[in-house]
Chains A and B, each alone.
Chain A
Amino acid sequence: MKTIPAFFAILVLGAQAVFAAVKPGDTAPDFQLTDIHGKTHSLAEFKGKPVVLEWVNYGCPFVGKQYNSKSMQTLQKEYTAKGVVWLSINSSAPGKQGNLSAEEWQKAVADKGAHPTAVLLDSDGKVGHLYGAKTTPDMWVINSEGKVVYTGAIDSIASVDVADIPKAENYVKEALDATMAGKPVTTAETRSYGCSVKYK
């Protein structure tokens, strides 16, 4: 007769799960954020198009490496022209590095010549936590069916050296090229590198 409470002991002791970050093969979870022009966007509104999520913080030297070399802007321009939706997301909490006002963001984006579809503000870190973003940059590539096909670093050389950009493999470019040609993505997941996301 002890089995009933014991079954519940099993239930209680065993029942929990660990939330993992969003991984290749997962359906990209939907979210809603406001962009730097005050407009609200959701991931669902871009259904049917490939989407890139780029966790960004212009003050971080690793992000700086990509933007000072113009590598990230070139990628953004090239792929948004091909119909890819590029969302730059900042999850810095108020008072922490990278948390700027909408006006400051607009100026920074213009200064850098950045070309994302939208820059989204996630200052309470909800979407960052939802996806498990740990660094800036931290990248997710989502195919037009809404499935994640790549997550991890922007490229293969973890450094702040602009000189390393031409030597490195750009994983996001590879993933976008493959998925848009209907081919499987060869490198689906890498370890991201960068500064930490400045959560609350």
Chain B
Amino acid sequence: MTPGAFAQFSFAPSKVEASMVADAEGIQPGHAFTVGLRFKIQPGWHTYWRFAGDFGIPTTLDWKLPPGWKAGPIQWPLPQVNHDAGDIVSYAYSGEAFHLVTITPPATLSEKTVTLKALAKWLMCEKECVPGQASLSLTLPVTDHPQAANTDLFAKYRALLPQAQAPPFPVAFTRTEKGLRLKVGPNAPNQLDFYPIPPDQLPVGHPTRLNAGARGMVTFEIPIDNLPASLQRIDGLLVQGVGTASPKSWLVGATGGDNASAPGVGGSNGFSVGNGAGGSVPAGSLLHYLLLGFLGGLILNVMPCVLPVISLKILGFVQQAGQDRQHIFRLGLAFTAGVFVWFIALAAMLIGLQAAGRQVNWGFQFQNPWFVAVMFGLVLIFSLNLLGVFELILPGGLSDRFGRTLRSDGYRGAFANGLFATILGSSCTVPMLGSSIGFALAQPPMVIFAVFLAIATGMALPYFLLTAQPAWLRFLPRPGMWMVRVKQLMGMMMLLTAVWLGWVLWQQQTKVIEPFQPQLTRALQSGRPVFVDFTADWCLNCKANERLVLNTAEVQAAFKKNNVLVLKADWTRNDADIGKLLKQFGRAGVPLYVFYPAGKPDQPHVLPELLTRQIVVDAVQSGSPAS
């Protein structure tokens, strides 16, 4: 019997031919060597990784070893990620699968040859699933100087194992209300994917990569329902360069290398807003939108039904409190509290709406033409109101009651003033608030609260400042025609937005969608380099990149010079092929920019979501990613 011979019994006409080989021609006592369980898999069939994904069963190997021998766990080379209809993801092998196991013989061996036995069990699936098993044995001579065997085979699959060292960039998990968030970086590679290895029984959703953070930072959202209180992280595989000739992977999590302590949730930088289709609001931008909310709140004071009230109110406080600056200020605080109460109530109501909406599975997707139509209608109405086409008026009885409370003295009066003034001001402010409400409905409750608090702060700020320094009242602008002009200007801008939404709606209805996959295949077969622009009509980031980078003379020239075939993957109407491709690149939404060098359809380079002309030109010219 030649060294490394095997015997096999299969229980089914197997689509998988199993065998066992060793990386040495003999066994040296006390010296570990590696055995490989090798599967030759029929085309179309798959066997599964240590975490199979939505379905499938990982291959198992049960050793029957003589006493004193030890076998380690299976070491798994990098699997493929398969996407099946119905958003079903699995981690699998096709063509050939190779499972490495380290075997350690005892320090002394009396035998001249040793036979190692194992029972391999697996699931193989194509259009259907069939379980398979094989009893395998390996007989090797005992020798003091074993020669290497099957070197190429072992080298090939060793290269596809996770790296022995920890990843060269920090990796940290945080808990979120959606599950876990995995933050990688700084110095994270651009093309990075995460394959989860969840604990048994824990249902884990498909990890999605969140769009554009800072350069060198990559964040994954790992959806886990009813996150167990004790769960801080899960195992998984970080993979760099999926689809390239030499991908690299690292095991991370509880048993891997997690070489960064979890970041303290300092400020808003631990917070990412939104995910999924349509381009999400990236982490740093939360601050940006809070600022906008604050400014919006400030602007509310300029509305015709609010501005005249400000000086009146402050003067009222001054009258009440006389020269007592402290008292004036405290009255101002009470007033401010009233403003805040209104906005907090609004936020709470929205959160309730949102929770109710989740029950009935409301969708807020720009891919849904109904959603766009409703938004178009609302924006149109709001713009007409601001332009003065019609007014919103509160019922008379309410106005009277407010009038009485407004005149009462003391802190309670001031508080009531704050609350009611804001409500009264609603007739002008609803159009402004309408848009924030639309935005807020899609965000987590914390964000809703934050944005509304920002608006409340903006709105209450004048009162706060002016009651601290009543002398500044003289700097307050006098009410006048200019307030009406401001209102009209904002009405115009809203009208423009309505027009844009109308255009999106029109595009959605009339656009002819050609399936994308055939276009891509043809392009890749052409032998030319291919640049794919994954975009959608409602994706502002995409449009910005197109306007500011892709359609510029410089980039267009670079495309021409290098004979690049530019493909637009238009996801406006949710093309299934494009959705699949996005998932293959580990993305949940657009934008996505992929460059295939000429004649290398299996080596796509993914460019960052925030493009610059330099990035595109470099990528196209050198045929390699710039960074």
**B361 x A29 contact (CB < 8 A):** yes
Kindly specify which of B93-101, B291-299, B415-423, B561-569 makes contact with the partner chain.
Answer: B291-299
Check if A166 is an interface residue, CB within 8 A of chain B: no
Check if B490 is an interface residue, CB within 8 A of chain A: yes
Check if A182 is an interface residue, CB within 8 A of chain B: no
Kindly specify which of A31-39, A72-80, A101-109, A154-162 makes contact with the partner chain.
Answer: A154-162
Chain A residues near B541 (CB, 8 Å)? Answer: 13
**A61 x B86 contact (CB < 8 A):** no
Find residues 195-212 in chain B having any chain A CB closer than 8 Å to their own CB.
198, 200-205
Interface residues in B, total, Cβ within 8 A: 70
Check if A47 is an interface residue, CB within 8 A of chain B: no
Check if B273 is an interface residue, CB within 8 A of chain A: yes
B532-555 to A contact mask, C-beta < 8 Å, 1/0: 000000101100000000000000
Chain B residues near A27 (CB, 8 Å)? Answer: 359-360
**A17 x B365 contact (CB < 8 A):** yes
**A93 x B289 contact (CB < 8 A):** no
Cβ-neighbour of A188 out of B54, B205, B226, B441 (below 8 A): B226
In the bound complex, what is the Cα–Cα distance between A198 and B296 (angstroms)?
Answer: 50
B578-592 to A contact mask, C-beta < 8 Å, 1/0: 000000000011000
**A134 x B361 contact (CB < 8 A):** no
Can you spell out 27 A-B residue pairs with CB atoms less than 8 angstroms apart?
Answer: A3-B292, A4-B432, A5-B493, A7-B432, A8-B494, A10-B289, A11-B438, A12-B540, A13-B274, A14-B439, A15-B366, A15-B438, A15-B441, A16-B277, A16-B364, A17-B365, A18-B276, A61-B131, A91-B86, A97-B127, A125-B86, A129-B86, A134-B87, A153-B201, A195-B129, A197-B88, A200-B85
Chain A residues near B85 (CB, 8 Å)? Answer: 93, 125, 198-200
**B127 x A198 contact (CB < 8 A):** yes
In the bound complex, what is the Cα–Cα distance between A63 and B26 (angstroms)?
Answer: 44
Check if A62 is an interface residue, CB within 8 A of chain B: yes
Question: Known contacts A3-B299, A196-B90; is A156 also within 8 Å of B201 by CB?
Answer: yes
In the bound complex, what is the Cα–Cα distance between A188 and B276 (angstroms)?
Answer: 26
Residue among A8, A20, A23, A97 with the highest chain B CB neighbour number at 10 A: A8
**B490 x A4 contact (CB < 8 A):** yes
**B127 x A96 contact (CB < 8 A):** yes
Find residues 260-318 in chain B having any chain A CB closer than 8 Å to their own CB.
273-281, 289, 292, 295-296, 299
A139 to chain B: closest CB distance in Å? 12
In the bound complex, what is the Cα–Cα distance between A192 and B245 (angstroms)?
Answer: 34
A172-199 to B contact mask, C-beta < 8 Å, 1/0: 0000000000000000111111111111
Nearest A residue to B89, CB-CB: A134
In the bound complex, what is the Cα–Cα distance between A124 and B296 (angstroms)?
Answer: 47
In the bound complex, what is the Cα–Cα distance between A160 and B12 (angstroms)?
Answer: 14
Cβ-neighbour of B129 out of A61, A156, A159 (below 8 A): A61
Chain A residues near B506 (CB, 8 Å)? Answer: none
Nearest B residue to A200, CB-CB: B85
Nearest A residue to B299, CB-CB: A3
Chain B residues near A18 (CB, 8 Å)? Answer: 223, 275-277, 588
Residues on B facing A (Cβ under 8 Å):
54-55, 57, 84-88, 90, 123, 125, 127-131, 198, 200-205, 223, 225-226, 273-281, 289, 292, 295-296, 299, 359-366, 371, 375, 379, 432, 435-436, 438-439, 441-443, 489-490, 493-494, 496-497, 538, 540-541, 588-589
Nearest B residue to A133, CB-CB: B86
Chain A residues near B123 (CB, 8 Å)? Answer: 61, 160
**B375 x A11 contact (CB < 8 A):** yes
Nearest A residue to B493, CB-CB: A4
A151 to chain B: closest CB distance in Å? 8
Chain A residues near B366 (CB, 8 Å)? Answer: 12, 15-16
In the bound complex, what is the Cα–Cα distance between A199 and B88 (angstroms)?
Answer: 9
Cβ-neighbour of B359 out of A26, A128, A191 (below 8 A): A26
In the bound complex, what is the Cα–Cα distance between A64 and B123 (angstroms)?
Answer: 14
Chain B residues near A15 (CB, 8 Å)? Answer: 278, 364, 366, 371, 438-439, 441-442
B58 to chain A: closest CB distance in Å? 9
Check if A6 is an interface residue, CB within 8 A of chain B: yes
Residue among A1, A26, A134 with the highest chain B CB neighbour number at 10 A: A134
